[in-house]
């Protein structure tokens, strides 16, 4: 079974050590997020030099802070360093991150995603210099790089999911409840068929916020904190969660935005945790992860360690869920 892990960016643990350990325990891919504080690509380059077979993915880099040409060069260079093991995961991020951190206008994010991904793919694979005249981005005479790097997109809303169907090798949904994935993928499937693409070839690789502890309550609370943070931080995540939990997510968001972080976390129910992540004792968590793979359309779950989890929970989670990778 394909099973990846998104390495946490915070805590006292070293991401490179966790990635090396994940490969040794049977995970087939490791992924690094990027918001602020460290470059996912630099860390993945370090991990590439110290691992042998595990795939290396960005999950995610946004389509606003780097140009399409820089993203293509980044993907190609990481792929070279990793001997063909790179996956480029991109997304729009959020208005707060794009505008406040990067100083860019969060303009037409879906169109930005489409044009950026299309340009990246052409630069990576075309035989001739790339000319592209888009609504938001135009390039001329860009030399091709001759690298076959899969591009995954972290699309939530239906318009962005159509971009996945038209262009992408994989889909990285986050905070779309597992019970809603089939329905959400129908948009991807339809768009793929309209482009003459086989939707079966699009890998479904959702983030799976995961926490394992002998104290089941500790594990659930870690995932509760993860869900509360995303519900309160951005409308796109909130809308995704609302496809299954409309009233609950509004209450969580209201508490979070009012500064009542503990109350917001407490409002995340066990049902929400089970439909958005994996939590519990080692045996409980393994059972839930296996169920996710066998009973849904998920191809490649990405175990995502909540930043709210204690360091020992992060390490225990990676270790406890590793046997599922060998199933």
Domain boundaries of the chain, sorted by first residue: 4-213+278-321
DSSP for 154-167, written as a single string: ---SHHHHHHHHHH
Q: Report helix, strand or coil for 216.
A: helix
Query: Residue 37 pLDDT > 90, yes or no?
Result: no
Residue 80 in contact with residue 53, Cβ under 8 Å? no
- Cβ–Cβ < 8 Å for 11, 17: no
Q: What is the pLDDT of residue 36?
A: 81
As a CATH number, domain 4-213+278-321 is 3.20.20.30
| pLDDT for the residue numbered 309 | 76
Q: What is the pTM of this model?
A: 0.95
User: Considering only CA atoms, which of 81, 80, 28, 70 is closest in space to residue 203?
Assistant: 28
Write down the pLDDT at residue 188. 98
CA 281, 282, 287, 289 torsion-angle sign: positive
Residues 252-306: pLDDT tens digits? 999 999 999 999 999 999 999 999 999 999 999 999 999 999 999 999 999 998 8
Q: How are beta strands 138-142 and 151-153 bridged, if at all?
A: unpaired
149, pLDDT greater than 70: yes
How high is the pLDDT of residue 11?
63
What's phi and psi for 151, nearest 5 deg?
A: -115, 120
pLDDT digits (tens, 9 = 90+) for 157-190: 999 999 999 999 999 999 999 999 999 999 999 9
**pLDDT value at residue 145:** 97
Mean pLDDT of 239-245: 97
* CA-wise closest residue to 205 among 321, 326, 302, 318: 302
What mean pLDDT is reported for the chain? 94
For residue 14, the model assigns a pLDDT of: 85
Residue 307 has pLDDT above 90, yes or no: no
Can you give the pLDDT at residue 77?
A: 98
C-alpha separations of 224 from 216, 243, 252, 280, 299 in Å: 12, 18, 10, 12, 24
Could you identify the residue written with the tokens 């140009």? 67
- Answer yes or no: is pLDDT of 10 > 70: no
CA 54 to chain centre: 17
pLDDT band at 327 (very low <50, low <70, confident <90, very high): confident
Residue 324 reports pLDDT greater than 90? no
Contact by Cβ (8 Å): 301, 289: yes
Task: Give the residue carrying structure tokens 């070293």.
Answer: 14
**pLDDT at 311 > cutoff 80:** no
Q: Is-contact 163 110, C-beta < 8 A?
A: yes
């Amino acid at each position: 079974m394909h099973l990846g892990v998104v390495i946490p960016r915070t805590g006292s643990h070293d991401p490179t050590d966790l990635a090396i350990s994940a490969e040794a325990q049977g995970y087939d891919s490791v992924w690094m997020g990027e918001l602020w504080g460290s470059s996912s690509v630099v860390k993945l380059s370090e991990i590439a030099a110290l691992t042998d077979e595990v795939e290396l993915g960005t999950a995610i880099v946004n389509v606003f802070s780097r140009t399409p040409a820089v993203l293509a060069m980044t993907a190609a260079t990481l792929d070279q360093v990793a001997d063909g093991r790179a996956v480029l995961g991109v997304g729009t991020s959020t208005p707060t991150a794009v505008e406040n951190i990067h100083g860019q206008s969060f303009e037409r994010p879906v169109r930005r995603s489409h044009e950026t991904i299309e340009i990246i793919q052409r630069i990576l694979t075309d035989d001739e210099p790339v000319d592209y005249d888009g609504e938001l981005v135009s390039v001329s005479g860009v030399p091709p790089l001759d690298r076959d790097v899969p591009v995954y997109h972290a699309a939530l809303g239906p318009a962005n999911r159509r971009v996945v169907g038209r262009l992408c090798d994989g889909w990285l949904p986050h905070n779309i409840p597992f019970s809603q994935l089939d329905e959400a993928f129908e948009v991807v499937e339809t768009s793929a068929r309209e482009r003459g693409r086989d939707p079966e070839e699009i890998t479904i690789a959702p983030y799976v916020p995961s926490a394992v502890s002998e104290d089941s309550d500790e594990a659930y609370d870690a995932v509760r904190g993860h869900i509360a943070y995303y519900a309160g931080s951005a409308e796109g995540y909130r809308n995704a969660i609302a496809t299954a939990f409309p009233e609950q997510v509004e209450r969580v968001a209201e508490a979070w935005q009012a500064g009542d972080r503990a109350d917001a976390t407490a409002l995340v129910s066990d049902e929400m945790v089970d439909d958005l992540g994996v939590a519990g004792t080692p045996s409980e968590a393994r059972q839930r992860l296996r169920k996710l793979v066998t009973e849904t359309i998920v191809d490649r779950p990405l175990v995502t360690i909540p930043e709210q989890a204690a360091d020992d929970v992060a390490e225990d989670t990676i270790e406890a869920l590793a046997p599922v990778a060998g199933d």
